[in-house]
Structure 1
């Protein structure tokens, strides 16, 4: 299915969590002198116009990046996301919001390599245009799950993988876990970040349990919700599950998650989770 377009949701509360975590991991992992392979399995269009028809339809960014944009004192990790978005907007009004491909392109070094996958034909073309002729980046109109296995183990011996499917198909949850386990067998020391939406809590519980039983060590979960779980109101929360996270991520999320609850959700409705799903050893 190729109906999902992230442009309708760009800059929403889920993007704020996802991209805050992604930026923190990128900045941590690019401190080392060795090259890094970055793999984005479901890249989207790369960059989004908040004044365009898709973003304007529901204006989800108003309660996401819109609130962070005008905040006085966000925690460090969230401030880094805002600073990056401000830079991409050339320190002017908030008009564009970066997807994970543009964030990675902005933060990666000349020695790093970025592999982007997108199957939607329109978003694939937008992505190619956004990345232009950057020789560090390869844009592929291929199944990101299938290509992931071919890209591991990386020649660089270091890898950061972002898995962010649309979850349009119910089997995506099961398929994701299967692919993650396979990828871990191919390269056990890689860092893998999985984004998930909470539309049906049962599916998330099943995914968490499957990862706990997988034999993979050192798995952390961070989740932010703007409202209690509901089967009637679509996505009410979202989260990131990270395998082999940077040791600094936990502390950053201890500061960021309570701030998100206080500032991006209605009073008394928000919540967060920060859990070590599987111990490091």
Structure 2
């Protein structure tokens, strides 16, 4: 199945959580001069036009990034993320709400941080998005784009020669097996490269699927696993995403403290009285 298009959801509350964490991880990696690999299993288009028919049809970004970008006071940990969005929208009238033109996918965020000594590996299967991704990566040195299975692609690139790496697994979860496949890929990757940082995004649609992912990690050999979750509304048996979360293996040492400041802020700005968040060390170091 290749019907999923992230353009409908670009900049929504799930992207805010995922991409704010990604910017913090990449910012941390860049504090050392030694290069690193960034590997993205489901890259999407790279950059999204919030004025196009896809984004305007759902308007999800208006309840996500658009509610944050004009705020005068936000946690320091959101600074790299908010700065990036503002740099992409230099003509945005900061006195108006929802006046954004561009929103970066994960490759767009990575491009902001990657240096000459770093390398980027992007995987995408969708025939339309791979064209957009190739266009976005034009003249970007040391980026490698492949229209192939990202799960297998990750395993083929590990361990990186410089022994430093960040892996993002961000599937659309069109297929139920993605929940198991995503965790299994990290477990296998961890055996090849135990010191890498792995970020796995997931939607909260059915709680039992999230519980299954947690148990699979607990019974694996993976260590040092942080779990974040941000749910706009309580779990329900009805179809639809009520929340979003991240599993992060080998997070930067200060990430938990940073997100302890960010999550209450996101609840205040994006949520309601029903909104809940969690931050826990699921597996110790």
Q: TM-score, normalising length from structure 1? A: 0.97
The farther-off stretch of 102-111 and 226-235 is: 226-235
The farther-off stretch of 8-17 and 77-86 is: 77-86
**Following the alignment from structure 1 to structure 2, what is the Cα–Cα distance between the partners of residues 120 and 53?**
18
**Helix, strand or coil at the partner of 1:254:** helix
**Following the alignment from structure 2 to structure 1, what is the Cα–Cα distance between the partners of residues 21 and 199?**
9
**Helix, strand or coil at the partner of 2:68:** helix
**Structure 1 residue 225: deviation in Å?**
1.1
**Helix, strand or coil at the partner of 1:69:** coil
Cross-structure match for 2:274:
269
Cross-structure match for 2:146:
140
**Following the alignment from structure 1 to structure 2, what is the Cα–Cα distance between the partners of residues 124 and 24?**
26
**Following the alignment from structure 2 to structure 1, what is the Cα–Cα distance between the partners of residues 87 and 268?**
26
Cross-structure match for 1:184:
190
Q: How many residues are treated as equivalent by the alignment?
A: 279
The one-character-per-residue Cα deviations of 1:85-139 (angstroms, maximum 9, x if unpaired) are 1101125341110001011011111110000000000000000001112121011
Corresponding position: 1:58 with 2:58: yes
Matches within 5 A, 1:1-281: 1-92=1-92, 93-266=99-272, 268-280=273-285
Contact residue 262 and residue 270 of structure 1 kept, 8 A: no
**Structure 1 residue 226: deviation in Å?**
1.0
**Following the alignment from structure 1 to structure 2, what is the Cα–Cα distance between the partners of residues 62 and 176?**
29
Q: Tell me which stretches of 4 or more aligned residues in structure 1 moved more than 6 Å.
A: none
**Structure 1 residue 74: deviation in Å?**
1.2
**Following the alignment from structure 1 to structure 2, what is the Cα–Cα distance between the partners of residues 79 and 13?**
17
**Structure 1 residue 233: deviation in Å?**
5.0
